[in-house]
Amino acid sequence: MRLAGRLLTPALLLLSNCSGWQSALDAQGTPAQLLEQLILGIIAACAVVWLAVVAVLGRALCRRRPPTGAPLVLDERRERRMMIAVVAGIAATVVTITGFTAASFMTTRSLAAASPADLTIKVRGKQWWWDVEYAGSASQPVLKTANEIHIPVGRSVRVELEGDDVIHSFWVPSLAGKQDLIPGRTNVLTMRAERSGIYRGQCAEFCGLQHAHMAFLVVADDADAFRDWARTQAGPAAPESSDPLIDKGREVFLSKPCAACHAIRGTSAKGVTGPDLTHVGGRRYIAAGLLPTTLGSLAAWIADPQTLKPGNNMPLVPLAPEELRAVAAYMSSLK
C-alpha cells in the first residue's frame, strides 16, 4: 500500500495540470478541441507502438531456442519470417509517421481558418505587454485596450498577430493553438470559445528579461455582455468626477510625463508608447498579469515600476505622496 501511495501521488500531481484556465487538455473552443484530439491521438498511437515493442521484446527474451548442431546453416523458413517481420515493421512506421504528418498538417491549417464575417482583433506583442485593437465597422468604432481580450461566445475570432520589437508567441491553450508574432509580418490565428469564462494566455517564446511576466486574459462573454463591454470600451474616459482626489489625479497625470506615453481618450493624453489607459481600472490585472487591479497595486506600480518589473520601458516619475494617491485613485476610477 505504501508503494502504491508513493506511485499514485506523483500521478495525481501531474493530472492536476490537465485542467484550469491555462491547459491544453481543458479545451473550451473548437481550435483547442482539434489540438486536444491531435494530442490524444498521437499519445494513443505511441502507446500502441510502445506496447507492441515491449510485447515483441518480451517474447524474444522469454523464447527458448532449441540447440542446433550447425549454427552456420541458414533456416530458410526462419529467414522468411524475419524478413516479413522487418518489412511489416517498416510499413507500420511509414504509415504511422505519414498519419501523424497528415493529421498535424490538417489541424494546423484549421487554426488559421477564418472568414470575413468573423470578428477581427489585431494583437501586437511588445516588451512586455499586449496591445489589442478591435477592427471598427459602421456601427462600432475602433477600440483599443491592453492585456485583456474580450470575445463573444460561440463566434469565431480572427486574431491578426504582429511583433513590435522581438519575436513573441501568442498562446491561449484552452481556446486556440500557438502562433508567433514576428516583426514585419502578420500571422493569423482563429480563436473561438464555446462557453463563457476567463482563460489565461501567455507569451510562449522567450522575448527578454520579463518574458515570464507577459500574460494576458481572454474573457468570453455572451453576446449581450460583449456588446455592452464593447460600447463602454469605445467611449472616452469619464470627463469629470465628484471626488476631488480623482480630479486632482487627472490634473497630475496630464501635467506629468505620463501623458506623453499613455493615451486616455477624452483627454489631452495621446501617447502611444505605453498601454491605452482609458479604461484601465476595469481590467482584472495590470502590468500584463503581474498584479491584480487594486488601488494599492496601482499605487505600487506607479511609484516604482522598475522594482516590480525590472527592465520594462516605464520610467520612474517622481511624485509626492499626495500626488501618488491622487493618480492611483484616478487610474482606479477609469472603468
Amino acid at 172: V
State mean pLDDT over 120-141.
84
Domain 244-333 falls under CATH 2.60.40.420: yes
By the 8 A CB rule, do 217 and 282 touch?
A: no
State mean pLDDT over 315-319.
90
Where are the chain's structural domains?
20-57+78-234, 244-333
Task: Say if 20-57+78-234 and 244-333 have the same CATH topology.
Answer: yes
Under the banding of pLDDT at 50, 70 and 90, the label for residue 277 is: very high
- Note the pLDDT tens digit of each residue in 32-50: 788 888 888 888 989 998 9
Sequence length of the chain is 335
The dotted CATH code for 20-57+78-234 is 2.60.40.420
Between CA 284 and CA 256 the distance in angstroms is 25
pLDDT of 114 > 90? The answer is no
| Residue 64 CB-density burial (10 A; 0-12 exposed, 13-18 middle, 19+ buried) | exposed
Under the banding of pLDDT at 50, 70 and 90, the label for residue 205 is: very high
Amino acid at 135: A
Q: What is the mean pLDDT of the chain?
A: 86
Return the C-alpha cell found at 29. 473552443
pLDDT of residue 12: 46
Return the C-alpha cell found at 75. 533456416
pLDDT of 109 > 80? The answer is no
Return the C-alpha cell found at 63. 523464447
* Cα-Cα-Cα-Cα dihedral sign, residues 198, 230, 211, 174: positive
- Note the pLDDT tens digit of each residue in 147-166: 999 999 988 899 999 998 89
Q: Is this prediction's pTM over 0.85?
A: no
Q: DSSP letter for 186, please.
A: -
Between CA 66 and CA 38 the distance in angstroms is 46
pLDDT of residue 82: 81
